[in-house]
Structure 1
Amino acid sequence: MSLQALREQRAAKAKALQELVKKGGEWTADNQAAYDAGIAEIEAIDANIERHQRMNQLAAEAALSNGVIDAAERIGRDQDSEASRLFAKWLRGGDNALSAEEWRAHLAAVQNTMSTTTGSEGGYTVQTDVAKSVLDALKAYGGMRAPGMATVIQTAGGNPMSFPTSDGTAEEGEIVDQNASASDADVTFGTKDLPVYKYSSKVVTVPIELLQDSSVDVEAFVRGRLVTRLGRITNKHSTVGTGTNQPNGVMVAAGTGKTGATGQTAAVVYDDLVDLEHSVDPAYREGGECRFMMHDDSVKVVKKLKDTQNRPIFLPGYDPANNGKLDTLLGYPIQINQQVATMAANAYSIGFGDFSKYVIRDVMDIVMQRFTDSAYAKKGQVGFLAWLRSGGNFMDVGGAVKRYRNSAT
């Protein structure tokens, strides 16, 4: 069965389960049995989809490693992007591969940053459209950059930036008698900084065979590796960063909305989730942007929870635009983020609220360096290192996101 057919099959079963849970009447043992069987079928389909995707990924990686890709397609793409063509040319041959004319023509975006101590060390400031493709690809490696989550902005430089803040959740107007004066109630403003930090991809080594084979999409190979590494570390810091010499993660900055009762070191109950939901002001909940965020292991826990009528509160999604998946909990979407703590004593294991109030700032000036010194040459390799300046902070002061904390004992 094709991947698309599997997704359509999942969507159909998820829709049937939603109709089962939402229909009126008593929730019977037969209903529960049908629900459990449906969830089991969906999990089996999900596993099949994952296997298909993994096989496709392995096939793509093998094709890339063996230099067996469609060179014509690559050439066509390069013709659409002069920056991409120059970037790939520099990856293969280094600074000397670019002609004087190419350096002059793109001086605003390409610069030589040769090290004063290592003659084989060349730098390349990645051009805007290539930089954007790198930054856009980061969203695939982290829950905080997923659609509907953090607000991501891009700035040309890393100069200091502050955001104004003001908490108006407790403010209200008044009734004024005829000919009477209105009362004063000045708005209090504050600021929150949004600094950026220097991230390294660590050195990516590429065999010279890949660089020499003109049919290999070496740009995609190198970019894929550095995106994976940068995506994981920046998502980690946006989620659980301490705020000291690194971004302030949302699961650190947000307030606590509910703490589990004694004995719930690795559990959460229905009432806890309801309390967590209502710990966020209705002004945020009614905005339509709220969702739950948790580790996949925690999703397994909440899948088993029932409401006061013994109906499941987890509903599998069937939105074809989201690959057939838009799972919900208490009617809110669930965002899986593997950097959120799993359930354990005192762990902040579930977040709920409007995560768009968290701002991620990327600096467009991504720099790559190319190494061909003896440490790599003797292994027949060339090393590449990417630098990215990025930061993040929770810009809300009104409690847009709250956390569930497992009990201590």
Structure 2
Amino acid sequence: MSIQALREHKNDIARQANQLLAEKGDTTWSKDDQAKFDGLMDESERIAGQIAAHQKMLDQRAEQHFIDAARKPADAAKNERAQGVELFLRKSMKDMSAEEVTMVRNTMATTTGSQGGYTVQTDVAREFVDYLKDYGGMRRVADRIATAMGNDMSFPTTDGRAEVGEIVAQNTAASNADAAFGTVPVNTVKFGSKIITVPIELLQDSQIDVVGLVNKRLRDRIGRIQNQKFTGGSGTGEPFGLVTAASVGVTGTTGSTLTVTFDSLVGLTEAVDLAYLAEGGFTFMMSQAARKMVRLIKDNNGRPIFMPGYGSGDVAAPDTILGYEIAINNDMPAPAASAKSISFGQHKKYLIRDAMEVTLFRFDDSAFMSKGAIGFLAWARAGGNLLDNAAVALYQHSAT
């Protein structure tokens, strides 16, 4: 069965599960109802694993053999900056004409040119950074800013939820209650793609979209490491990850080292202050392993609290728990003793900061030429931190 057929089958199962939920409504579920729904969810999970295996195989083949190298339309037109980037990727500086060298230098700053690398202009870097949102869960839910430079930066914070006014008698002075402000650092660190090698034949084929090919490889690698650190970074030499910065809202009862109860999930939704509800945007975030853990949980009347999402065409509806959307982030900790496997709240309060200082290097020395390839390396600076600790709460499994 093709990967597309598997996706359609999974979508059909989700439709059946939602239909069952709608038909039963608020009535108490029988054992047969539970068994039918659980069977659908088991089948959905099996197909999801099959889809993931197919996709992993396709990704590995693409990485090793460049079978995803797209060809350019015959009438494709590029602006001067795009032409400059393509020239840099395809040719060594010593093989360029004077006009081509000028075009490259107009596109990319020359601060590291002597080492074979260039800091790309801001508008070129922005396209590179914008595509990073496709890798992992954090960029899909977090807020984001871009700065021209990567110097240290702190953001002011204040929590006014505990502040109240007063009743003042006639001819009585008002009391002082200055707001307490703090700061949260959102400093950048340097992420590297590691060196990728591209066969000379691809670079020489003018019909290959070499800019898209190299950018995708670089973005894949940097996007994956950034999502890991935006999720669980320690804050020392790396970003403050969401799991590091947020507070525990609910700790599982003894024996819940690999599970979570209905009561704990309800408690987690109540661990975030109601003051944030007016702003909306509340979501659960968890890994696929954690979703597998929660998808069979029932409420006190035996009804499933998990509703599988399905859509039409390329538009997929998200899964929900207790009416809140689930954001899948496989860099969240898997269920384990003392692990913080689920977060809930306003994840947009996590801020990702991108410095538009993306540097590209091209290696064409003998170490690469002997393999018939050219090497490329990218550096990108970024940072992240949770600006409001009270906006997100974590579920932590019990230690025993």
Q: Structure 2-normalised TM-score?
A: 0.89
Q: CA–CA distance in 2 between the matches of 1:322 and 1:289?
A: 23
Counterpart code for 1:71: K
Q: Offset of 1:319 from its aligned partner?
A: 4.5
Q: CA–CA distance in 1 between the matches of 2:322 and 2:41?
A: 17
8 A contact 1:295–1:337 mirrored in 2: yes
Q: Offset of 1:29 from its aligned partner?
A: 2.5
Q: How many pairs are equivalent? A: 397
Q: Is the deviation greater in 5-14 or in 335-344?
A: 5-14
Which of 112, 116, 128 pairs up with 2:122? 128
Counterpart code for 2:73: A
Which of 81, 84, 87 pairs up with 2:85? 87
Q: CA–CA distance in 1 between the matches of 2:218 and 2:281?
A: 31
Which residue number in structure 2 is paired with residue 183 of structure 1? 175
Q: What are the within-5 Å matches in structure 2 for residues 325-344 of structure 1?
A: 325-344=317-336
Which of 110, 113, 117 pairs up with 1:112? 110
Q: CA–CA distance in 1 between the matches of 2:326 and 2:342?
A: 10
Provide Cα deviations, 1:259-300, integer angstroms capped at 9, x if missing partner.
111111111111111111111111224422111111111110
Cα 1:24–1:234, aligned 2, differ >3 Å: closer, same or farther?
same
Which residue number in structure 2 is paired with residue 307 of structure 1? 299
Q: Is the deviation greater in 313-322 or in 243-252?
A: 313-322
Q: Offset of 1:388 from its aligned partner?
A: 0.3
8 A contact 2:156–2:182 mirrored in 1: yes
Q: What are the within-5 Å matches in structure 2 for residues 151-166 of structure 1?
A: 151-166=143-158
Which residue number in structure 2 is paired with residue 254 of structure 1? 246
Q: Offset of 1:200 from its aligned partner?
A: 1.0
Which residue number in structure 1 is paired with residue 73 of structure 2? 72
Q: Offset of 1:36 from its aligned partner?
A: 2.5
Which of 366, 391, 399 pairs up with 1:400? 391
> Secondary structure at 1:72's aligned position in 2?
coil
> Secondary structure at 1:306's aligned position in 2?
coil
Which residue number in structure 2 is paired with residue 216 of structure 1? 208
Provide Cα deviations, 1:44-80, integer angstroms capped at 9, x if missing partner.
665676678678768977995496x54325x51xx24
Q: CA–CA distance in 2 between the matches of 1:357 and 1:336?
A: 17
Q: CA–CA distance in 2 between the matches of 1:209 and 1:247?
A: 39
Q: CA–CA distance in 1 between the matches of 2:37 and 2:306?
A: 11
Percent identity between the two aligned chains: 44
Q: Is the deviation greater in 97-106 or in 286-295?
A: 97-106
Cα 1:342–1:359, aligned 2, differ >3 Å: closer, same or farther?
same
Provide Cα deviations, 1:293-322, integer angstroms capped at 9, x if missing partner.
111111101011111111111111135487
Counterpart code for 2:387: M
Q: Offset of 1:175 from its aligned partner?
A: 3.5
Q: Offset of 1:333 from its aligned partner?
A: 0.9
Structure 2 residue runs of 5 or longer lacking an equivalent are: none
> Secondary structure at 2:163's aligned position in 1?
coil
Which residue number in structure 1 is paired with residue 348 of structure 2? 356
> RMSD in angstroms over aligned alpha carbons?
2.9
Cα 1:38–1:266, aligned 2, differ >3 Å: closer, same or farther?
closer
Cα 1:11–1:274, aligned 2, differ >3 Å: closer, same or farther?
closer
Which residue number in structure 1 is paired with residue 38 of structure 2? 36
8 A contact 1:247–1:392 mirrored in 2: yes
Counterpart code for 1:35: F
Q: CA–CA distance in 2 between the matches of 1:358 and 1:208?
A: 42
Which residue number in structure 2 is paired with residue 13 of structure 1? 16
8 A contact 1:17–1:38 mirrored in 2: no
Which of 16, 23, 26 pairs up with 1:24? 26
Counterpart code for 1:405: Q
8 A contact 2:117–2:361 mirrored in 1: yes
8 A contact 2:62–2:68 mirrored in 1: no
Provide Cα deviations, 1:302-359, integer angstroms capped at 9, x if missing partner.
0111111111111111354873231011111111111111111111111111111111
Cα 1:193–1:50, aligned 2, differ >3 Å: closer, same or farther?
closer
Structure 1 residue runs of 5 or longer lacking an equivalent are: none
Q: Does 1:391 align with 2:383?
A: yes
Q: Does 1:380 align with 2:380?
A: no
8 A contact 1:17–1:315 mirrored in 2: no
Q: CA–CA distance in 2 between the matches of 1:334 and 1:321?
A: 20
Q: Structure 1-normalised TM-score?
A: 0.87
Q: Offset of 1:246 from its aligned partner?
A: 0.8
8 A contact 2:92–2:364 mirrored in 1: no
8 A contact 1:318–1:326 mirrored in 2: yes
8 A contact 1:11–1:324 mirrored in 2: no
